[in-house]
């Protein structure tokens, strides 16, 4: 009897502690249930109240977004970021540009480090499960670059060696159009250009947005006119009904830029 009473007294003393522990555990599971912090991205009214918008961008991808000789960010996507800032907040200097790596482009939005991302993100169905995409502001795609004067069209690359980035979607496009070509895998753009310079390959296949910057820096290279694929680049925004106003305003602004011809003019200006 005495031992039973002691056990109940012990349980009664521990009950508040056990209850508190269970409450904390349940709260923890609720907050982190989606695998991310509970903090959500800023909604449009909050962005307006604080007076600035945070936008993730690239800083090493000429001509989309890069640093000029003075260290200032320039490029098509920078122009777009500034134009959207004017539409959303009324003035260009209300933007805070945050350079990100390729690996961080989506997570920056998901983890509330930025409000939106304009960082050469291709809109795909798998990514659309995590984030929302705007209407496309540019259609990228795989092209071929060469410095070989004997190569003027795709047929001139039949049975020739072509450098491609390992595991890239460009591989399938090149195989479709040039099934007899010999593909040489590389792990970087620099490695591909090194092969072209040594005449170890006749051409390099990659995204036009990247190769356009290469041609601007090295005029001995030429991009062949045929585009092997089409990939829409879009603004990345958070999912959820609470962000409807932000998404509507971004989409409406991009639609105006397209209709007015401003976006096409900027695309042409940047050599894309």
Q: Please tell me the least confidently modeled range out of 183-187, 215-219, 245-249.
A: 215-219
pLDDT digits (tens, 9 = 90+) for 36-67: 333 457 788 899 999 999 999 999 999 999 99
Same domain, 100 and 131: yes
Specify the higher pLDDT residue, 154 or 2: 154
Asked whether residue 177 is assigned to any structural domain, the reply reads yes
14 in a structural domain: no
Distance from C-alpha of 27 to C-alpha of 19, rounded to nearest angstrom = 12
Task: Tell me the residue range of the domain where 262 lies.
Answer: 44-139+232-270
Last residue of a domain, one of 227, 243, 258: 227
pLDDT, tens digit (0-9, with 9 covering 90-100), for 9-23: 443 444 343 333 333
Q: Which residues contact residue 178 at a Cβ distance below 8 angstroms, ignoring those fewer than 6 apart?
A: 154, 157, 158, 162
Tell whether 135 and 239 lie within a shared domain.
yes
Supply the pLDDT for residue 172: 94
Residues 133 and 67 in one domain: yes
114 belongs to a structural domain: yes
How many structural domains comprise the chain?
2
Give the pLDDT band (50/70/90) at residue 165. Answer: very high
- Pairing assessment for the beta strands 161-165 and 182-186 based on DSSP bridges: parallel
Mean pLDDT score of the chain = 86
Cα 25 to Cα 13, 16, 30, 36, 147: the distances in Å are: 20, 14, 9, 16, 62
Residues 199 and 221 in one domain: yes
Shared-domain flag, residues 197 and 258: no
Average pLDDT over residues 175-195: 94
Q: State residue 12's pLDDT score.
A: 42
Domain-embedded: residue 133: yes
Examine the domain organization and report whether 152 and 188 are in the same domain: yes
SS3 category, 242: helix
Band (268; pLDDT cuts 50, 70, 90):
very high
pLDDT for the residue 80: 98
Cα–Cα distance list, 249 to 196, 232, 243 (Å): 44, 19, 10
Mean pLDDT, to the nearest integer, of 154-175? 93
How large a percentage of the chain has pLDDT more than 70?
Answer: 85
In this structure, the answer to whether residues 83 and 168 fall within a common structural domain is no
End-to-end CA distance of the chain: 87
Band (pLDDT 50/70/90 cuts) for residue 133 is very high
**pLDDT band at residue 173 under the 50/70/90 scheme:** very high
Nearest of 188, 194, 24 to residue 102 by alpha carbon: 188
82 & 188 share domain:
no
CATH number, residue 131: 3.40.190.10
Whole-angstrom Cα distance, residue 76 to residue 122? 15
Question: What's the confidence (pLDDT) of residue 40?
Answer: 58
Q: Give dist(CA 174, CA 164) in Å, integer.
A: 9
Q: Is residue 5 part of a domain?
A: no
- In a domain, residue 4? The reply is no
- Please list the residues that pair with 78 across neighbouring strands: none
For residues 117 and 200, membership in a common domain is answered with no
Instruction: Check whether residue 196 and residue 260 sit in a common domain.
Output: no
Let me know whether 247 and 123 are in one domain. yes
Q: Examine residue 256 and state whether it is found in any structural domain, yes or no.
A: yes
Helices (H), the chain: 2-31, 44-50, 76-89, 105-110, 170-177, 189-197, 208-217, 244-260, 262-269
> What percent of the chain has a predicted confidence (pLDDT) above 90?
75
Our measurement of the distance from residue 183's CA atom to the centroid of its chain's CA atoms, rounded to an integer in Å, reads 27
- State yes or no: pLDDT of 25 exceeds 70: no
251 shares a domain with 195? no
Asked if the structure places residue 9 within a domain, the reply is: no
């Amino acid at each position: 009897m005495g031992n039973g009473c002691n056990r109940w007294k012990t349980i009664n003393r521990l009950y508040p502690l056990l209850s508190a522990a269970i409450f904390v555990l349940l709260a923890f599971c609720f907050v982190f249930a989606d695998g991310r912090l509970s903090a959500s991205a800023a909604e449009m009214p909050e962005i307006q109240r604080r007076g600035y918008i945070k936008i993730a961008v690239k800083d090493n991808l000429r001509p989309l977004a890069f640093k000029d000789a003075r260290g200032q960010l320039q490029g098509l996507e920078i122009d777009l970021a500034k134009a959207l800032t004017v539409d959303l907040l009324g003035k260009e200097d209300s933007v805070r540009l945050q350079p990100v790596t390729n690996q961080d482009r989506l997570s920056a939005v998901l983890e509330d480090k930025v409000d939106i991302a304009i960082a050469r993100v291709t809109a795909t169905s798998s990514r659309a499960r995590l984030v929302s995409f705007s209407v496309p502001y540019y259609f990228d795609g795989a092209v071929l670059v060469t410095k070989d004067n004997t190569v003027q069209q795709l047929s001139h690359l039949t049975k020739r060696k072509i450098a491609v980035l390992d595991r890239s979607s460009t591989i399938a496009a090149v195989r479709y159009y040039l099934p007899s070509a010999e593909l040489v895998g590389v792990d970087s753009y620099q490695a591909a250009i090194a092969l072209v310079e040594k005449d170890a390959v006749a051409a390099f296949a990659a995204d036009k947005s990247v190769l356009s910057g290469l041609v601007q820096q090295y005029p001995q290279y030429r991009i062949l006119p045929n585009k092997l694929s089409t990939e829409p680049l879009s603004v990345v925004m958070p999912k959820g009904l609470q962000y409807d106003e932000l998404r509507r305003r971004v989409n409406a602004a991009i639609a105006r830029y397209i209709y007015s011809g401003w976006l096409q003019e900027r695309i042409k200006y940047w050599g894309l």
